[in-house]
């Protein structure tokens, strides 16, 4: 079961791969704060997150995503 710190570290790697540059992740960070974070990138982030922790998100998981903190919470909840 990954800790919140491990999840954040893993997501940082995913964001770096998706955007081709380092993104400083904070729980409050949203798509509006990051240039280039469009729906295409959003799907890349979700897909890579599923792949990394071997989990599958439901539509309800995805509907609840507003910020990076929500994503961390979903991964933590599913990882239990």
Partner 1 sequence: MRHLPPPPPDFRARLAALPPDPRTAWEGLAALAAHALSPLQTNALDAALIARFPTPPAFAAAAPLRLALLGSATTEHLAPGLRVAALRRGIPLALWSPDYGQYQAALEGPDPALAEFAPQVALFALDAHHLAQEAAGGGSVAALLDRLAALWARARALGAVVIQQAALPVAPPLLGANEHRLAESPAAFLAAFNAALRARADAEGAHVLALDAEAALAGLGAWYNPTYWHLAKQEIAPAAAPAYGELVGRLLGAIRGRSAKCLVLDLDNTLWGGVIGDDGMEGIVLGQGSAGGEAYVALQRYARGLAGRGVILAVCSKNDEAVAREPFARHPDMVLREGDIACFVANWGPKPDNLRRIAQELNIGLDSLVFLDDNPMERDLVRRELPMVAVPETSDDPEQSIAALVSGGYFETLSITEEDRERTALYAGNRAREALREQTTDLAGYLRGLEMRLVWRGFDAVGMARIVQLINKSNQFNLTTRRYTEEDVRAVMADPAAFGLQLRLLDRFGDNGVIAIVIGRVDAEGDCDIDTWLMSCRVLGRQVEPTTLNLLAARAAARGAKRLVGRYVPTKKNGMVKDHYAKLGFTMVGETPDGGSRAVLELAGFQPAETFIEVVEG
Distance CA 34, CA 20 (A): 13
Q: Which residues contact 66 (CB under 8 A, 6 or more apart)?
A: 30
Contact footprint for partner 1 (CB under 8 A): 17-18, 20, 39-40, 43-44, 47-48, 50-51, 56-59, 62
Nearest residue (CB) to partner 1, 57 versus 68: 57
Token look-up 């919470």 returns: 73
Nearest residue (CB) to partner 1, 19 versus 67: 19
CA quadruple 57, 63, 64, 66: dihedral sign: positive
Closest separation between CB of residue 49 and partner 1, Å? Answer: 11
Nearest residue (CB) to partner 1, 48 versus 73: 48
């Amino acid at each position: 079961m990954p800790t919140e710190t491990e999840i954040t570290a893993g997501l940082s790697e995913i964001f770096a791969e998706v955007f081709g540059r380092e993104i400083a992740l904070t729980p409050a960070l949203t798509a509006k704060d990051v240039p280039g974070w469009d729906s295409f990138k959003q799907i890349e982030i979700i897909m890579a997150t599923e792949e990394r922790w071997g989990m599958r998100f439901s539509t309800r998981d995805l509907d609840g995503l507003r910020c990076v903190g929500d994503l961390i919470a979903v991964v933590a909840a599913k990882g239990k």
